[in-house]
Structure 1
Amino acid sequence: MNAEEANQVSQAIFERTITGGPLADFHDIVTGIEHKQQIPFIGNMGLVGEKITGCDRNPNGTSIPLTEKFWDPVIIGDRLKHCALDVNALFKLFRKAQRMNPDFYDRIGSEEFGVIIAKLEQALTKMQNRLVWFGDTAADNVADSGVITDGVDVKYFNPIDGLFKQIFAEIPTSASNYVEIAKNAGANYAAQALAADEALGIFRAMHKQMDARFFEALEEGAQPQFLVTREMWQNYEDTLENKSIAFSLQETQDGITKRSYRGIPIKVRHDWDNNIRSYQDNGTKFNLPNRAILTVKENIPVGTLSQEDLDNLESWYEKKDKANYIDFDLKLDVKHLLPYMTVAAY
């Protein structure tokens, strides 16, 4: 007896995907960034004030240092082409045209096209988080002395320099606001796993390594956040449970337990894990699989021309091709602004 085929989209099971969530959950979004644009930094004066013993005074030679970074957005886009004949003939749920021309070919507004749009929206969010954190204009595959898994096209990583590249450059292993995660140097996957209670020690060290200016900003109302890979959180959670201090160290709001360390929210970046394991795997070990960043949203802003571009898709049916098209285009850049407002563990 032949199986009855599904004839409604609602009968289909949609596989889950890890998108990383909207950029605005983790970053300030700066709009109006159309071309290379200066970000000026106004520094602080040196020492002033001395004992006065006479009428004559020598001018203080102090000055206000000025430095700069630049927004340098690039256009990122893609095009998808969909022909009705490409739909697998087994799936009757997508076969509902009443006539050949134009109904069969023009799928704009159809259920199948709605599915494509929905999946592309997910892919667009994944792309934005991937580039914002893992972008590297010098990206190379492992075989070419890079960290991108062999066989993965580096064009999906090299449009911009993402935050990890910027943070690694501005907070190197010699920096006072760097915290070592020794297990990252493990020779294989198993050796890279965190030891029991290790995450708690890392979070504690990160908190201690905060610059005085970072601490003062918190006292003035800045909202810090721990951004961490999944194993970092799970390791920390195990520690809380084992020591029976989970309730006392976590805040409860509206009956929901919030992840935090010393009152600082912990946001688990499942997309980091997904990108590292999928695209930074040399076949023996992962590239820095354990990571944690302590900073504020304002210090890692995303620049774009319009926030609407971040989820805007353009679709149309082209008669001469008998094909349906979807385009997206956006301008994108990201900046790590003040190194002393970040603590990095990797």
Structure 2
Amino acid sequence: MKKITMQDIADDLNVSRVTVWKVLNGKEGVSFELKEKIIKKAKELGYLKAEMPEEKVEPKQSKKISVLISRPESSVFWINIIHAVAKELDQYDLNLVYTYLPPKYEEGYTLPDILKEDKKIDGILIMNVYDAKLLEMINQLELPKVYLDLVSKFKLEKITGDLILLEGKTAVQKITKHLIENGKKKLGFIGDINYALTNKKRYQGFTTALKNKGLEIENKYCLTKEIGIYSYYTEISNFLDQLETLPDAFVCASDFIANFLMRYFIENGIKVPEDIALSGYDGNNEYSMIAGKLTTVKVETDYLGKRLADQLIYRIKNPNSPIGITNIYSKVLWGDSTKFS
């Protein structure tokens, strides 16, 4: 009679031999339901003795990962990242829960209890949180953590979790260089450079391109101060209204911002790119006025979500390893908004 092997069990269940080996050797990384199937099949085929008690494979309480997000009405861009995180975590039998924080810290605010109670949460992902005080409070939590971006003034040497950044300086410098080489010499930048470290890096790409071409930074065309979360269009419109003349092009820190500029241009009969060129960042298709038309930088949200999840899993398993900062580079997606005849 043929000797039954782990490969036989794997073939019958259409799973890998490694998965069977993990179950039969009591290793983690396999869901409880699949463990039960493998044990049952191993008994059926005679690999394990039939009298082996089922209790040998007991369900373990799944680990919980919390994603900390400051605004529940977050855009499709952020939602896509979170969905990709959840999909990756599910492969490791990890549950994802949401923890909502306010957009800004107010006196007396404390973090939700779920983040402070022992064994409630096993690790946290911090994204779309752009308040320095809230980030300081999160940074003090003794939990494995991974940040996606930070506020510009946060001191990196004090960070207690890994940091993943969308490296935007290179791409924005490339876009700005393209504009200059096509005769666009008067350039403006729109985006709060103190709101996010990534915004600041994108602005640095803009200014570096200008300096490399021997051009001055014309501050009258740059809106880099704080912009209210719920008053973007009003503030951008007021800024544009007070300009005596428009620049040749605006480079924006995000597609979210570029969408407001496009709205203003349409309402005021200004043609893009004939009268003014425009660029953004993120590759976000949820804004109909710019979707498929805007020169932008395409962020692969599926990859980003997977990368965040994998980094947090590593951090949970290796809590004492050195803190890491990872830059993710994205490609420029050229659109008609910077296309010149």
After TM superposition, the score normalised by the length of structure 1 is 0.28
Structure scoring higher RCO (CA < 8 A, sep ≥ 6) equals 1
- Normalized per residue, the structure richer in strand is 1
